[in-house]
Chain A
Amino acid sequence: MEDEQSFSDICGGRLALQRRYYSPSCREFCLSCPRISFRSLTAVTCTVWLAAYGLFTLCENSMILSAAIFITLLGLLGYLHFVKIDQETLLIIDSLGIQMTSSYASGKESTTFIEMGKVKDVVINEAIYMQKVIYYLCILLKDPVDPQGISQVVPLFQFTGWAVGLQRDSSQRGAVRPELLPLRPHPCRLDPLVVGERLQMQQP
């Protein structure tokens, strides 16, 4: 079973949300942003090369041109392989865990799996980004020492859902301070990013 909806992210870009129901105990949410556009690629390349030609006419050194070619190629490769994320997938398996996969434009995939036993709760967090308040989903992990405490806040759909912004290093407790709203009774006023309906998960 599969359905698809489109949303816009906090910067106004288009996002497509796919929901797949494999079985009652396993479902997948897949958020994908548009692929790299031909127009922006051309614009960046032309800018770099025009600048290189400008320098070349000034200095008359052909090293500049070859350097520009290398910079463009390496920059594109690095951008596709390390920066540009096309798709982020959240696979939720009942009584097993939550798996987050982000696939880069070059095909590289980085996966993190969080066991259900470590998940304390899934909440919607509020944070101030630039001059507005944004909402995002995050997983709270249990502290192995103190069962009431939270050891880590793992944001979901970090790259496609809400454009970068927040500190990624939230490993220390209290690094992300805003109020943690429990997900279930919260009214649905999260226009920019409504990821599925309520994610119902039974804690083991």
Chain B
Amino acid sequence: MVLKAFFPTCCASADSGLLVGRWVPEQSSAVVLAVVHFPFIPIQVKELLAQVQQAGRVGLAVLGTWCHRRQEPEESLGHFLEGLGAIFSHEPWLQLCREPGSKLWSCKATRWQAPPGPAAPGEDQIMLIFYDQRKVLLSQLHPPAVLLDRQAGDAPASVGDLAAVFDTVARSEPLFQSDRFGEGPVRLSHWQSEGVEASILVELAKWAAGPVCLLLASLLSLISAASACRVFRLWPLSFIWSKLSTCEQLRRRLEQLTLIFSTQKARSPAQLMRKANTLVSVLLDVTLGLLLLSWLHRKDRIGQLADALIPVADHVAEELQDLLQWLMGAPAGLKMNRALDQVLGRFFLYHIHLWISYIHLMAPFIEHILWHVGLSACLGLTVALSILSDTIALLTFHIYCFYVYGARLYCLKICGLSSLWRLFRGKKWNVLRQRVDSCSYDLDQLFIGTLLFTMLVFLLPTTALYYLVFTLLRLLVVTVQGLIHLLADLINSLPLYSLGLRLCRPYRLAAGVKFRVLEREAGRPLRLLMQINPLPYSRVLNTYRLPSCGCHPQHSWGSLCRKLFFGELIYPWRQRGDKQD
């Protein structure tokens, strides 16, 4: 098997020294982590490695020597480096060397003992793979390679080659804590040796986050305790809560805030990412809500809105009245059953009349209601959107009523027709066996049944017309509400933090790696450059999408059409199973 040496690019310009890293015997690969410079005391190097090994639970060792020939050939150094192999015994002993030409690398792996296989003792075939230590350390492989439970001790041996490399680099983070300005006994060269990367702002935020989270978490627990109070669980109130989408949105917001300010530390990177995504989406939501609030409160827009609302409701009612008048005549040249038509039309007209008087009763208070409701936009745009959706539902309540009446009437007729049609054919529905059985009817029963069937058939078009018109109106309202819910769901479930990370730091979310073959000269080892392959946007979305509140349509198109045809009630998409019937 070819011996693979993973070498960090940041060490390519380091001075000569010792190579420190991990040897993975299963894949016969050596992961070089750092270069130890002269002068050092071997005992101290071993102590340092033992410390890191204890902290990160990863088996580190001195893998070999690194020789960087600057100008003059240093013959004595070469002999010295070879001699070091006797002090730090390792199998195989790597000897990496870089010539002054900067492109010429040579690599030698010496095995002291003969390997068990048929291969001759001595030198193996070697492949040099360069990797960017910083990116490999910070990136996160997708899908996560087997469960890396840190309690389990040593790195799992079964994971793939590259996962082992990533894991090794991630676990030996304590090795990278020392920079070259430190006073430690051993001088190392690695990606942070020019100075440890950190930000004052981040440190301050970390320092402040603890008490702030504690305070807010206690406040939130108080609020959730109050909302769980028994008074709100009584019958009429609980019914109202379950119908209003605003309440659901508020509950959701409370859950999100609890998640953000929970004092527990995120256990896995996925949880951390979820927290960050939730935080960003809440921040965006609140920002948009505040913008909306400031827009509403400037130039007395709320007053204008309230003034416009009543005429709009009036206008809708007027249009409906016109529609009903048209239906009561001869709509589209159809000749309806006059008596039934008149009855239905008057019934609906009276309903509209009731509705208009109700709206006019409300008129003086609408501005105040709007002003107070507008304040809720500071909780976020999604809350404002759900309030808008609820308002639409309330304002079009008469359309909903018409639809329900029409649907019930139509459903009744369809049911009657279907059972009479069976009677017509001399059959009946057997409830116990759940099937259609044949049955012998009396002459009277047949006569009455046929008479009723004929009447229902002739009355059906009138009812069907009313049903059709009001179903169309209802579908329009449901579509508008569905779009509003879709928008709110989009804001709630978009993983903005992950998308931003993918856009600005593509290496943080890695789908894998890719290799590039570097220029090669005959007789020298093959050199490859390992780069991070970023996760595609679609997979970022799929992996990190926040759980949405189930806005996906319950019905397929076919079942929707079936329900419409048989006059069963359809509800907005949002409704849950318990409100189905």
Contact = CB atoms under 8 A, between A and B. Distances in A.
Interface string B143-177: 00000000000000000111000000000000000
A95 B514 contact: no
Nearest to B536: A110
Interface string B1-21: 110100000000000000000
B276 to A, nearest CB: 27
A111 B515 CA distance: 9
A116 B528 CA distance: 16
Interface stretch (A5-13, A23-31, A78-86, A120-128): A23-31
B515 A91 contact: yes
Contact of B2 (A28, A95, A97, A101): A95
A95 B162 contact: no
Contacts of B162: 115
Nearest to A91: B515
A113 B515 contact: yes
B160 A95 contact: no
Contacts, number: 56
A117 B161 contact: yes
Given A93-B515, A118-B160, A111 B27 contact: no
Contacts of B533: 111-113
Nearest to B160: A115
B125 interface: yes
B2 A113 contact: no
Nearest to A112: B512
B161 A115 contact: yes
B28 interface: yes
B161 A96 contact: yes
A116 B160 CA distance: 9
Interface residues of A, number: 22
A28 to B, nearest CB: 7
B517 interface: yes
A28 B162 CA distance: 21
B540 to A, nearest CB: 15
Contacts of A91: 515, 517
Contacts of A113: 512-515, 533
B512 A25 contact: no
B526 A26 contact: yes
Interface string A85-111: 000000101111101010000000001
A25 B526 contact: yes
Q: Which of B1, B28, B515 has the most CB of A within 10 A?
A: B515
B4 A95 contact: yes
Given A93-B528, A95-B1, A95-B28, A25 B125 contact: yes
A185 interface: no
B320 interface: no
A23 B129 CA distance: 14
A94 B2 contact: yes
Interface in B486-527: 512-515, 517, 520, 526
10 closest pairs, A vs B, by CB?
A111-B514, A23-B526, A115-B160, A25-B2, A95-B2, A113-B512, A95-B1, A117-B160, A22-B517, A94-B2
Given A115-B161, A116-B161, 13 more contacts: A22-B517, A23-B127, A23-B520, A25-B127, A26-B526, A93-B528, A96-B129, A113-B512, A113-B513, A113-B533, A115-B160, A204-B1, A204-B27
19 contacts: A22-B520, A22-B526, A25-B127, A26-B528, A95-B1, A95-B4, A95-B27, A96-B127, A97-B161, A112-B512, A113-B512, A113-B514, A113-B515, A113-B533, A115-B162, A117-B160, A117-B161, A204-B1, A204-B27
